[in-house]
């Protein structure tokens, strides 16, 4: 089992960031509602969204951005 982040889409492929590398996965193998920045769990041929971690990371990024642009 591996955790990854959807970095971007290139045509029919999703570029997934892993800890030390990236892999390409056919977009059709991802859940239909997958978006750039989503955390995913890869378990063999089964890929699921990690909704809880995605939400947590997005909240952390929003907080950092707010601090950065706060006057």
Mean pLDDT across 47-69: 90
Mean pLDDT of 25-52: 94
Mean pLDDT, all residues of the chain: 92
Q: Quote the tokens at residue 69.
A: 């642009």
Under DSSP, is residue 4 helix (H, G, I), strand (E, B) or coil?
Answer: strand
Query: The pTM is what?
Result: 0.82
Tell me the average pLDDT across 38-58: 93
Domain 2-69 is found in CATH 2.30.30.140: yes
- Confidence (pLDDT) at 71: 58
Give one word for 7, left, alpha or beta, with left for phi > 0 and alpha for psi -120 to 50: alpha
Residue 70 has pLDDT above 80, yes or no: no
């Amino acid at each position: 089992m591996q955790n990854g982040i959807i970095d971007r889409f290139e045509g029919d492929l999703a570029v997934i960031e892993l800890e030390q590398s990236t892999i390409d996965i056919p977009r059709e193998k991802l859940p239909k509602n997958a978006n750039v920045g989503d955390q995913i769990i890869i378990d063999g041929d089964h890929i699921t969204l990690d909704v809880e971690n995605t939400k947590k990371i997005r909240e952390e990024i929003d907080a950092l951005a707010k601090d950065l642009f706060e006057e």
